[in-house]
Amino acid sequence: MKALLSRDSLLKWAPVLVLLVLMLTFPIFEMLNDLARGKEHLYLLDSRFLSVRNFARIAIAAAPALMVALGVTFIIIMGSIDLSMEGTVSVSAVSFAYAFIALGGTLASWAWLAMPLALVVGAAIGMLNGLVHVKLKIPSFMASLAMGFVGTGFALLLTGGERVRVDDPIFRSLLTVRWFNFPIMIYVAGAFLLLMWFVQTRTTLGRNFYAVGGGEELAAASGLNVSRVRILGFTLAGVCYAMGGLLAVGKIGIAETVTGANFMFVSITAVVVGGTALWGGIGGVFNTLIGVLIVFVINNGMVVIGLPSYIQSAVLGALVILAVVLSTDRKAISFVK
């Protein structure tokens, strides 16, 4: 019993329990609201929140953010912070849209090459981000924040503030074609999640992320090239951000300067709430999946029961504080910087 209630067990299972509680709480509040308004709603299974259509709506909203959050996961596991995602997503999305149009405007032509090109653009920005951090010895949060501003500015320079439309029906089938009531983009996101899980658990690079996050000096003393691992980590994160940009364009059919807007708060919140420790060395991609679901279930559920957006933000902020408090070992850390 003590093992089940230990701090490590609580940290491991708390995000899952929070998600389950939310999945039960919102239908109950929805039912009570309907009854208060005189509507017939006697069973939880009548809940709009628990409908397959609503689950698909949550999944569609969460898919691009999940891709971005996966990249953030690897950075935080290394004990660093990356704030460049909004600029990287925007540049990757805009680069994809322009290349897609220039190469024929349909996946039936050579326009499919625009997708790997976007991933290369994201990787290049991530690598540059890592090089600035490592070679110039600038703290990761400051280097990445600056790169994020550069990326957003470059996206604005490319578009001139205009929207770039991607109207190809084949590409838009990511959203419009559904398998088992869920659009194709959900399965694409799931496949990418499994790929990142493979990188995390089955590759030397994934194990090195944990080694660096668990103790950089010890990792270096063991012969690990910490600088190389960090640069590769930021490069991989850039690929994840670009994938998020592709799904964002697939969702709305438009690439623009603000395609990457709001990804910073959502992705970092999801990673922390999912149980990946800000101090590094703890967590993983499936923690991030749970964290993303928590964030978007809260957003969706509060809309369903009619609560205003500022309450949503307050709840997410409280969850972040709670998650950081639970993940902090105060016996090991006497002062938080």
Chain segment 127-153, per-residue pLDDT in tens: 999 999 999 999 998 999 999 999 999
Do residues 75 and 237 lie in contact, with contact meaning Cβ atoms separated by under 8 Å? yes
The predicted pLDDT at position 62 comes to: 95
**140 closest CA partner among 100, 88, 83:** 83
Q: List helix spans (H) across 78-113.
A: 85-102
Residue 79's region, left for phi above 0, alpha for psi from -120 to 50, else beta, is left
d(CA 89, CA 91): 6
Q: Are 294 and 15 in contact (CB under 8 A)?
A: yes
Cα Rg, the chain, nearest whole Å = 21
* Spatial distance between the Cα atoms of 55 and 313, rounded to a whole number of angstroms: 21
Amino acid in the structure at residue 254: I
> Rounded to whole angstroms, how far apart are CA atoms 28 and 33?
9
Q: How many residues does the chain have?
A: 337
Largest CA distance in the chain: 69
3-state secondary structure of 179: strand
The predicted pLDDT at position 337 comes to 40
Question: What are the helix (H) ranges across 222-304?
Answer: 226-252, 263-273, 285-304
Within the chain, which residues score under 50 in pLDDT? 1, 330, 334-337
Amino acid at residue number 134? V
Task: Name the 3-class secondary structure at 182.
Answer: strand
What pLDDT, on a 0 to 100 scale, did the predictor assign at position 217?
A: 86
Global confidence as pTM:
0.92
CA 321, chain centre distance (Å): 19
pLDDT number for residue 85 = 95
